[in-house]
Amino acid sequence: MKFGVIVFPGSNCDHDAYHVVSKHVGQPVDFIWHRETDLSAYDAIIIPGGFSYGDYLRAGALARFSPVMQSVRKFAAHGRFVLGICNGFQILCEAGLLPGALMRNRDLHFICRHVHVRVENSDTPFTHMLKQGAVLRLPIAHAEGNYFCDDATLDELEREGRIIFRYCDERGRLTDTSNPNGSRASIAGICNRGRNVLGMMPHPERACEDLLGSSDGSAIFNSLATTIAKMAES
């Protein structure tokens, strides 16, 4: 099994993702410069957080044109796994691999703090080691995390169980103050129809060690690694 972490000019969570995969999940992992186009060696690609191209125009709007993104599109179409975290989620939406858009936060401020998210669907390759309804404590750090989609898309996401995480309070309730950025339906993470592409605004890779305030993120990486291992056996 091999993971790849894509590096754009301006990525800044690439090393965190690399560290988690190599040290905590214990799997081989490479950095992949955004000009690369051959992803054939990989089972899963992580598009990490950061400020690709300085977030000019809109977060992710320029990174979607990087050469590697054509290959990521094909990689995803073949059912291989893609995890977009924060700026990675923004890039996946801009590239059309996930529906909707990430707008400026409701209060127009950059928000950097721990939040709670509820696991809305534990029946995915990324969440099967988590309990349905479990509450995770994860950090967010973004200015453009306000998820928006139209009514038809929201209906489709709900109906198909593709809303994977929702912002909530520490007891799993959706309250007036539990949605940090104004995201529609408190959405913190969604997947594609094939369930092999996940985008999320919170940072699970910054929450894999108790020393960092939470290790709740590790189940996401371990779920994915277990899925890949099982697929290789069968």
Ligand X SMILES: NC(=O)CC[C@H](N)C(=O)O
Active-site annotation, residues = 86, 203, 205
Residue 59, interface with ligand X (CB under 6 A)?
Answer: yes
Q: Residue 32: left (phi > 0), alpha (psi -120 to 50), or beta? A: beta
Q: Which of 3, 18, 51, 167 binds ligand X (CB under 6 A)?
A: 51
Answer whether 59's CB lies under 8 Å from 144's CB.
yes
User: Which of the stretches 44-52, 162-170, 192-200, 205-213 binds ligand X when contact is defined by CB under 6 A?
Assistant: 44-52
Q: Closer CB to ligand X, residue 42 or residue 53?
A: 53
d(Cα 116, Cα 107) in Å, to the nearest integer? 19
Nearer to ligand X, 188 or 228 (CB): 188
Which is closer to ligand X, CB of 13 or CB of 190? 13
User: Which residues lie below 8 Å from residue 217, measured CB to CB, with a gap of 6+?
Assistant: 20, 136, 138, 202, 203, 204, 205, 206, 207, 208
Cα 223 to Cα 219: distance, rounded to the nearest angstrom: 6
Number of residues that bind ligand X (CB under 6 A): 14
State the binding string over 149-188 for ligand X (x if CB under 6 A, else -).
Answer: ----------------------------------------
Closest distance of CB 52 from ligand X, Å: 7
Structure tokens at 148: 């928006």
Residue 9 neighbours by CB distance under 10 Å: 14
Q: List the beta strands (DSSP E) in the chain.
A: 3-7, 29-33, 44-47, 81-85, 101-103, 111-119, 135-142, 146-148, 163-168, 187-191, 197-200
Residue with smaller CB distance to ligand X, 118 or 142: 142
Pick the piece of the chain touching ligand X (CB under 6 A) from 20-28, 51-59, 167-175, 212-220.
Answer: 51-59
- According to the binding rule CB under 6 A, does residue 86 interact with ligand X? yes
Contact between 87 and ligand X by CB under 6 A: the answer reads yes
| Smallest distance from ligand X to CB 14, Å | 10
Closest to 115 measured CA to CA, from 216, 18, 208, 16: 216
55 touching ligand X, by CB under 6 A: yes
| E strand residue ranges, 1-91 | 3-7, 29-33, 44-47, 81-85
Q: Pick between residue 86 and residue 228 the one whose CB is nearest to ligand X.
A: 86
User: Using CB atoms within 10 A of its CB, is residue 20 exposed (0-12), middle (13-18) or buried (19+)?
Assistant: buried
* Per-residue interface string for the shown chain with ligand X, residues 106-145, x marking contact by CB under 6 A: -----------------------------------xxxxx
- Least distance (Å) between residue 49 CB and ligand X: 3
List interacting residues with ligand X (CB under 6 A).
13, 49-51, 55, 59, 86-87, 90, 141-145
